[in-house]
Amino acid sequence: MDKLKIKGGAPLQGQIQISGAKNSALPAMAATLLTAEEVTLENLPMVNDIITTRRLLRELGSEVEFPSNSSARLKTRNVISHEAPYELVKTMRASVLVLGPLLARSGRARVSMPGGCAIGARPIDLHIKGFEKLGASVATEYGYVEATAKRLKGANIVFEKITVTGTENLMMAATLAEGTTTLGNAALEPEVADLAQLLNKMGAKISGAGTSTITIEGVDTLHGAKHSIIPDRIEAGTFLAAGAMAGGDLELVSCDPGHLTSVISKFREAGVNIEEGKGRVRVRGGSPLRSADVVTHEYPGFATDMQAQYMALMTQANGISLITESIFENRFIHASELVRMGANIRIDGSRAVVAGKSRLTGATVIASDLRASASLVLAALVAKGVTTVDRIYHLDRGYEKLEEKLRSVGAHIDRVK
Ligand code: EPZ
């Protein structure tokens, strides 16, 4: 299993290009199942979750080609299988995003129940309730969700809780339903609006994406399209934390500061020097950091996918900061690994108390999930000595060429095969 070896202490100097958003690319690839015509996706991050999605789509009957290392051509002339098997879903929960398109396109879908993951139980009950509202009959047995419907019928659906992939799954299904669907208390994440843009290019009639009420007027068929995926705001946020912690002068390009408003304002509150421009953000590290409390929220609040990185940043801030995780019930696994590096963190349920500034030292640490692994890399960039991060397959799922990008701006980081 690959590991990363990082020698801390080097300031970061230079420019990093931000990749396309994983959490926009995954639903976009699933959406191509809705048409028999070809869809081209550009600015795709070549991360392992994209490779897993290609495998899944091919099993369902899609032709998927990567003509370059940041684009894909996808075509599903015929759906040859309706099943997203356990073997694939267990490696990537987002596989559940094929449920809506399969059901809408061919009236049947059988998807392995994702089950729990490191950060929480993560049920899909709200997805299922939504499909039932659209007239599907849904059974959950033998570890699978099996849904069937002659043709879905438009309905008014109000989510009891904001769910990103739930909103995306129902929005995709409703594009081919008979009549109009409204999704209330929908997710506001930029990835949802990006998916709606792709679907509208494919001939869908969606309005209100990016607001809490989305309206979808069903159509009979969808056609091919070309779409460029939005930049990855979580990757950009991760590099902002790296620059703030390691010192130096780092510029991020091909990113959208508008998607990072709450992250940037919280970082500024903590004393980070950030400059925004069109499609770019600049962070000049080295100024003393001060503690600042944060509560994770749905967009446009502070993203839970930035919580672990923020915890690493707060280990280098003077004072006590309180981090409250309000989205997932078990998303502090990284804390104990940071403590092994010398951080002072105490967990109390959904709250973490971080006392800083801590002098971190290199250690062998284990990554437990995608964002947790990013926080360990950040801590290693400022730790004295060498840190070995194990199980970085978690990192490879969602960060494209992380160590090459960091090395290109001066970090001492190597992958050990
Ligand atoms: C998406 O997951 C992202 N994944 C996650 O990013 C992100 O952490 C999360 O949204 C929140 O922002 C993708 O987009 C592929 P939710 P999702 O449904 O859609 C509960 C990363 O690091 N819930 O919005 O699965 C759920 O348990 C990943 O890139 C139900 O109770 O998250 C959670 O507490 C990790 N029933 C809350 O809602 C449901 O049917 C929000 O989950 C659905 C969700």
178-187 pLDDT, tens per residue?
A: 999 999 999 9
Report how far residue 198's alpha carbon sits from residue 39's, in angstroms, rounded to the nearest whole number: 9
> CB of 325 within 8 A of CB of 332?
yes
Report how far residue 258's alpha carbon sits from residue 192's, in angstroms, rounded to the nearest whole number: 15
Look at residue 351 in the predicted model and tell me its pLDDT.
98
Give the pLDDT mean for 335-362.
98
Look at residue 120 in the predicted model and tell me its pLDDT.
86
In sequence order, which ranges of 13-92 are alpha helices (DSSP H)? 22-31, 48-60, 86-89
- The protein residue whose alpha carbon is closest to atom 16 in ligand 1 is 163
Report how far residue 188's alpha carbon sits from residue 207's, in angstroms, rounded to the nearest whole number: 13
The rounded Å distance from CA 173 to ligand 1 centre is 18
Report how far residue 206's alpha carbon sits from residue 215's, in angstroms, rounded to the nearest whole number: 6
pLDDT at 115 over 80: no
Task: Return mean pLDDT, the chain.
Answer: 97
- The protein residue whose alpha carbon is closest to atom 22 in ligand 1 is 305
| DSSP output for 129-168 | HHHHHTT-EEEEETTEEEEE-SS-B--EEE-SS--HHHHH
The rounded Å distance from CA 308 to ligand 1 centre is 16
Alpha carbon distances (Å) from 219 to 158, 173, 178, 215, 347: 22, 11, 7, 13, 50
Look at strands 144-148 and 108-112 and give their pairing: antiparallel
The pLDDT tens digits for 248-265 are 999 999 999 999 999 999
Q: Ligand 1 atom closest to Cα of 165? A: 19
CB of 120 sitting under 6 A from ligand 1: yes
Report how far residue 334's alpha carbon sits from residue 340's, in angstroms, rounded to the nearest whole number: 10
In one-letter notation, the amino acid at residue 207 is S
The pLDDT tens digits for 208-233 are 999 999 999 999 999 999 999 999 99
The rounded Å distance from CA 164 to ligand 1 centre is 6
pTM of the predicted model as reported, rounded to 2 decimal places? 0.98
pLDDT at 293 over 90: yes
Look at strands 289-290 and 225-228 and give their pairing: unpaired
Tokens encoding 101: 């398109």
Tokens encoding 112: 């392995």
> Which one from 80, 117, 121, 416 is the annotated catalytic residue?
117
Q: How many CB atoms are closer than 10 A to CB 346?
A: 11
- The protein residue whose alpha carbon is closest to atom 10 in ligand 1 is 164
Q: Is the peptide bond before 384 cis (omega within 30 degrees of 0)?
A: no
Give the confidence band of 135 by pLDDT, cuts at 50, 70, 90: very high
Residue entry with tokens 């002068």: 249
* Cross-strand pairs, 137: 148
pLDDT at 33 over 80: yes
Look at residue 109 in the predicted model and tell me its pLDDT.
98
Look at residue 186 in the predicted model and tell me its pLDDT.
98
Give the confidence band of 118 by pLDDT, cuts at 50, 70, 90: confident
pLDDT at 38 over 80: yes
Look at residue 117 in the predicted model and tell me its pLDDT.
80
Active site residue 117: yes
Tokens encoding 243: 């620059």
Look at residue 312 in the predicted model and tell me its pLDDT.
98
Q: How many CB atoms are closer than 10 A to CB 166?
A: 24
Residue 374: closest CA among 290, 318, 285, 303? 303
Tokens encoding 219: 């159509």
Give the confidence band of 121 by pLDDT, cuts at 50, 70, 90: confident
Give the pLDDT mean for 201-207.
98
CB of 309 sitting under 6 A from ligand 1: no
Report how far residue 299's alpha carbon sits from residue 39's, in angstroms, rounded to the nearest whole number: 28
Look at residue 390 in the predicted model and tell me its pLDDT.
97
Residues 6+ apart with CB under 8 A from 264: 240, 257, 274, 276, 281
Beta strands of 179-272 (E only): which ranges? 180-184, 205-207, 213-217, 225-228, 248-253
- Altogether, the residues listed in the chain come to a count of 417
> CB of 232 within 8 A of CB of 44?
no
The rounded Å distance from CA 22 to ligand 1 centre is 14
Look at residue 24 in the predicted model and tell me its pLDDT.
98
Give the pLDDT mean for 164-173.
98
Give the pLDDT mean for 30-38.
98
In sequence order, which ranges of 72-220 are alpha helices (DSSP H)? 86-89, 99-106, 125-133, 164-174, 190-201
Look at residue 153 in the predicted model and tell me its pLDDT.
98
pLDDT at 286 over 90: no
The pLDDT tens digits for 389-415 are 999 999 999 999 999 999 999 999 999
CB of 165 sitting under 6 A from ligand 1: yes
Pocket test for ligand 1, best of 52, 117, 122 (most atoms within 8 A of CB): 122
Look at residue 345 in the predicted model and tell me its pLDDT.
98
Radius of gyration for the alpha carbons in the chain, expressed in angstroms and rounded: 21
Query: Residue 273, Cα to own-chain centre: how many angstroms?
Result: 26
